[in-house]
Chains A and B, each alone.
Chain A
Amino acid sequence: MKTLVNHKSVFVALLGSMLLILSCHKPPHTVAESAAPPPPQKVTIIEREGRIRNFPCSECHKKVAPETMSKDGTKKHTDIVLKHFPGMNKCQLCHDPYNMDQLKRITLEPVSFNTSQEICGQCHGEKKRDWDMGAHGKIVGGWMGVAQKISCVGCHNPHTPGRPKMQAMAAPPFPAGGIPKGDHP
């Protein structure tokens, strides 16, 4: 018993001295209390006009009289398939036949292609609100300072807005020691 106590006291003394040596450390990576907060995220919406094929559309459309266009307008734009919801078959719901370089609301006010989310927001109000706050859609470029928000049509083709199915990338390999609990039904 006696020897044990002796050992212990020696050990404690040793630890104590080490503690003294070590006790003046500073924590790593400590943020100064007075430091200014990081610059807030400044989000701009990615513009579309430069990304649309054949823009400006008026190059052609100033020669195409709205009155002469076919009902569904797909004679020339054969690649456009309108599969949005049953019954949506009129291009002019969103496009302005008198000025193809812009879109128009159902109430006929013009809307630029750069703010086409306003068109979608007419019917998808809730999604538009989510997108405004950042809960739907995507912001790229970083979390502080300048960043860009992808507009609705950056992810959804306005004519066939449903998102295609994707092929899942490779699954993790089965663990050699069997499937851990919680990884399989």
Chain B
Amino acid sequence: MKIDSDKNKSDRAAHRLKKKAEIKLAEPASRRGFLKKLTAGVAAAGVAATQSGCSTTGMDKFFQDHYKEMTAEEKEKVFARISEDTKKKYNVDINLKDPPPVPGARFAFAISLSVCNGNRACVHACVEENNQSRDPAVQYIKVIELDRGTFNLEEGDAYYEGEVPKKDKFYLPMQCNQCDNPPCTKVCPVEATWKEDDGIVVIDYDWCIGCRYCMAACPYDARRFNFKEPELQRSEINTNQSYLSNRVRPQGVVEKCHFCLHRTRLGAMPACMEACPTGARKFGNIADPNSDVAQIVQNKRVFVLKEELGTIPNIYYYFD
């Protein structure tokens, strides 16, 4: 990890903030490569059809429009279908919503690596909040243990146990960076994943064909794929769900952190941040210059992971 001079740092911080402000919010989904994608989509639809199995509602799902093209009524229909499916399978009534981005908000995390002690409260809060499969265990957050004074992500240990923090170690929580220049969305052959106006990269689990190109494209190992039927107890289900975030996923789709958009778009904090007992995680609207995240990016020596790739991540790390 290169630590740069103070001047350099403040220049870069100012530049980053400016860049954030400049990013055009209402960039519609690109039609670039539409032809290419359409042909891929035809092939992909075949795959999806064979995957959707024998569910009675499987065909509705198969003929469902792309989420971005759906009208409000069509969405209602889809939500009703999902609620019904969940009721059938788990016998719980869910509250499925679809909160839109908050106008003018751009979400970011700032994480203090001096304070994080690797206790993994965030990992488990995330699993519970987001109805992740318990077996096989799907976890969006990975905390890696590194030797102090080093910064080689490949040498980290994600499987440490026992009392933390350990001597001469520090802990680095990793999850989806919601990049402003996301490599993952570009490789999706069916446009099942895209970036929304508040910066969150979302996935339509009904549209995803499970090809996992996006997983290969992600330099942060943030995306997860569930090969088996997700296993969840009825009592474990969080009924506060949204279409693009934590509803129970079908088997064979890609999923990842979405900054708890079903919470954050209503003004709440993400589950991981709320659960953090050390205060290492800060979350907020980086477009608001008085927010803690904006203040940290401006005043602390922050860095992002793999900056050289030009992905423009939205999780800033710092030591204090």
By a beta-carbon cutoff of 8 Å, the part of chain A in contact with chain B is 15, 18-19, 22-23, 25-33, 35-38, 40-41, 130, 133-145, 150, 155, 163, 165-174, 179-185
Contacts and interface: CB of A to CB of B under 8 A. Distances in A.
Interface string B15-50: 000000000011111010011001100000000000
Given A31-B103, A167-B163, A182-B153, A136 B279 contact: yes
A163 B278 contact: yes
Q: Which 9 pairs between the two chains have the least Cβ-Cβ distance?
A: A134-B292, A35-B103, A138-B279, A27-B28, A37-B104, A169-B120, A28-B68, A133-B295, A31-B103
Contact of A166 (B155, B164, B269): B164
For chain B, what secondary structure do more than half of its interface residues adopt (helix, strand, loop), or is it mixed? loop
Contacts of B164: 165-168
A125 to B, nearest CB: 13
B178 interface: no
B123 interface: yes
A55 to B, nearest CB: 25
B154 A181 contact: yes
B159 A183 contact: yes
Q: Which of A31, A36, A168 has the most CB of B within 10 A?
A: A168
Interface residues of B, number: 78
Contacts of A144: 102, 105, 267, 285
Contacts of A171: 120, 158-161
B310 interface: no
A168 B173 CA distance: 13
B178 to A, nearest CB: 15
A140 B68 contact: no
A172 B197 CA distance: 32
Contact of A27 (B26, B112, B115, B136): B26
B154 A182 contact: yes
Nearest to A126: B320
Given A29-B101, A40-B291, A184-B158, 20 more contacts: A15-B38, A28-B67, A31-B101, A32-B103, A37-B103, A37-B288, A140-B274, A141-B269, A143-B283, A150-B279, A163-B278, A166-B277, A167-B119, A168-B161, A172-B142, A173-B136, A182-B154, A183-B157, A183-B158, A185-B157
Q: Which of A15, A29, A172 has the most CB of B within 10 A?
A: A29
A169 B119 contact: yes
Contacts of A15: 35, 38-39
Interface in B90-144: 100-105, 107, 110, 112, 115, 117-121, 123-124, 136-137, 139, 142, 144
Given A168-B118, A170-B120, A182-B156, A135 B282 contact: yes
